[in-house]
Every structure is written in C-alpha cells, then in structure tokens.
Amino acid sequence: MRATPDLTGALWRKSTHSDAQPGGECVEVAHNIPNLIPVRDSKTPHATPLTFTPHAWQTFITATSSR
C-alpha cells in the first residue's frame, strides 16, 4: 500500500457546471502537486482522495470527453 501524499498545499478546483447543480457537489481536482493529480468529492473534502499520474489522468479525461 502506498503512503498518502502530503496534499496540504493542494489548490482544489471544480467545474463551474457544478454550481448549477443542487448543492453544488462535484469532483474537485488539484493540478499543482508535482507528478500527481489528486481527485476528491466536494461533499467529503477531508476523505482520502484518489490519485492519478498525469498520464493516467489525461487518458481518463480524453476517454470521457469524447462521450
């Protein structure tokens, strides 16, 4: 099992589309952590986030953007 990375300096952002949803819940992503893309649920920001390599994240975004 990998150690949880230090994300205290993470600058989280979420889609502006989430503001249109009731409650504004959305997935949040931080892009300022070197070699890591952390992703979390805005409803539970203190839970352990999922983490992706930049390559894996880009592959995910490319695959889901075409749908």
Q: What is the pLDDT of residue 65?
A: 84
Indicate the pTM of the whole model: 0.78
Q: Is the pLDDT of residue 21 over 90?
A: no
The H-or-E segment that residue 52 falls in is strand 50-52
Report which of 18, 63, 4 is spatially closest to residue 29, judged by C-alpha positions. 18
Residue showing tokens 């539970």: 44
pLDDT reading at 59 higher than 90: yes
Query: Is the pLDDT assigned to residue 4 strictly greater than 80?
Result: no
Which band of pLDDT confidence, cut at 50, 70 and 90, is reported for residue 5? Answer: confident
**21 vs 57, which has greater pLDDT?**
57
